[in-house]
Chain A
């Protein structure tokens, strides 16, 4: 049996692939920035907030961490309109990615915060810093430094997970791949190219985040 692979019909569609990859990167960037903010707030609430809120955040984290991303996406995109909240595919994707990363990162950041020695917090307070100032300037930076490798892994997972957003017609990389193969029926070749692009993105993202973490977040 002879199988002939032709990559040219895929590669001539490079503008579409690049646009897809750009949207994948964009989605990841939004999810990372907003997701981190959500995670820091949730981590703080889960440790120092009022009891009821702690319980709410705990439920949020466990619910998200124990259900598949695709179900969360479908719930938000197909389910919420029934409750009167209409979302475009793009906003639904962003929202789901943020909610998803927020939950995972909450647990990671909380682990980092818990590793802060009590003495440092007491030292901050004794220098007349407020509780919020102590949290932002004393507790958070070393906490981030400690858990940065775990966060980098999680952000990479979210980037790869965003491939699922193509299922609700968000025009990211997997959607572009699918569109190309539906036009020229070279499905296998199209998915090879798409997958290799994801691999390159994942490696680049990991390098970038490791570098940026050392350079900007806790570098000297």
Chain B
């Protein structure tokens, strides 16, 4: 029988943590792209797409991420795709992130005074020009802190990918706990590793927020 030292446990968990980071980044970038597209469509202000997007956001914010993961995992299989845990977890988290980011960013755009839209309109800027030259540069400034804050939520969300068999930090922790019979130690280490990932991001988000508030006062 192989003996597991503390270093063996931590080393294996660190190796698994790479996948947590990778999944978080994929979902964050993918969610950002989809979320931005949804935001632009929403800003065009057509009633039907707007209602659809509002429903989409409500659907993802009003249901458990766990169920979303299962739905995609089984749904893709039903449609005949031979999906790996990677694909279904990545896709589910991307959709989840896109709904939240679209909503966060919409709030940031709405915080820009209406006069800015009207002023740029009266200068004969097109919708695209209004967005890229007038609205977005101002909205991005206020959007950064909550977006970084959401990244923390997303990193924690990737832990649920373990239930569809994606071997990341939580799943690896479970497997190691089973062979070492030391669940307290292993899950303690898992929690500390997540803390190590999330806490710096939380602190960064908080400092960004503070800087932004100084500018406003």
Contacts and interface: CB of A to CB of B under 8 A. Distances in A.
Interface residues of B, number: 42
Interface in B56-88: 58-59, 62-68, 70-71, 74-75, 78-80
A156 B158 CA distance: 20
Most buried by B among A1, A67, A166: A67
A78 B187 contact: yes
Count chain B CB atoms within 10 A of each CB in A68, A80, A166, A203 and give the residue with the most.
A68
A161 B64 contact: yes
Given A79-B184, A163-B64, A195-B63, A66 B79 contact: no
Contacts of B198: 66-67
Interface string A63-90: 1011111111011001111110000000
Contacts, number: 121
Interface in B120-176: 152, 156-160, 162-163, 170, 173-174
A6 to B, nearest CB: 12
A188 B71 CA distance: 6
B3 to A, nearest CB: 18
A129 interface: no
Interface in A135-172: 156, 160-164, 166-167
A192 interface: yes
Given A66-B195, A74-B173, A167-B163, A198 B156 contact: no
Which 6 pairs between the two chains have the least Cβ-Cβ distance? Answer: A68-B159, A163-B64, A66-B198, A79-B184, A187-B74, A202-B62
Interface of B: 58-59, 62-68, 70-71, 74-75, 78-80, 152, 156-160, 162-163, 170, 173-174, 177, 181-184, 186-188, 190-191, 194-195, 198-199, 202
Given A62-B195, A166-B66, A188-B78, 6 more contacts: A66-B195, A71-B159, A79-B186, A83-B184, A187-B78, A202-B62
